[in-house]
């Protein structure tokens, strides 16, 4: 079983914060690239942030400075800390683990930013 499991989504007011968790189901220090993606209603899925097994991170321009991707090796878990949330961040957020052409997707967790 290599499907990651996301958690931590919910309803939050604009300007608030959430932390999403991804239980990776693979060894996050074994060459996998772990990424967070999101899919707003009626739109295509888009890349949010990535972290490599060596710790290199990248962010979409839309979340740079507001979101932080991090990892806990002891728990084999990757996090997405989301601050200063905007209504435009409303989406279903998915964790992906990838090694070369092999890609594993979780079921996603819903994030809704609304007052």
Kindly state the DSSP code that residue 88 receives in the 8-state scheme: G
Residue 12 has a pLDDT of: 98
Distance of CA 112 to the CA centre of its chain: 15
Looking at residue 31, its pLDDT comes to 87
The pLDDT value recorded for residue 48 is 98
If we measure between CA atoms, which residue out of 80, 76, 91, 110 comes closest to residue 2? 76
Confidence bin at 90 (pLDDT 50/70/90): very high
DSSP for 25-53, please give it: SS-TTTTPEEEEEEE-TTS--EEEEEE-T
- CA-to-CA distance for 86 and 31, rounded, in angstroms? 33
Question: Quick one: pLDDT at residue 30?
Answer: 84
pLDDT at res. 26: 82
Closest to 85 in 3D by CA, of 17, 1, 10: 17
Residue 51 CB partners (closer than 8 Å, separation 6+): 33, 34, 35, 57, 69, 70, 71, 78
- The share of the chain scoring above pLDDT 70, in percent, equals 99
């Amino acid at each position: 079983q290599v499907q990651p499991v996301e958690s931590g989504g919910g309803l939050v007011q604009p300007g608030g914060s959430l932390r999403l968790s991804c239980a990776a189901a693979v060894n996050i220090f074994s060459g996998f690239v772990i990424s967070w993606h999101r899919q707003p209603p009626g739109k295509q899925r888009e890349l949010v942030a990535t972290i490599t097994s060596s710790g290199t991170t990248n962010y979409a321009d839309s979340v740079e400075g507001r979101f932080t991707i991090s990892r806990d090796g002891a728990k084999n878990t990757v996090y997405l800390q989301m601050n200063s949330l905007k209504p435009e961040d409303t989406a279903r957020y998915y964790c992906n683990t990838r090694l070369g052409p092999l890609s594993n997707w979780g079921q996603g967790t819903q994030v809704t930013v609304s007052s």
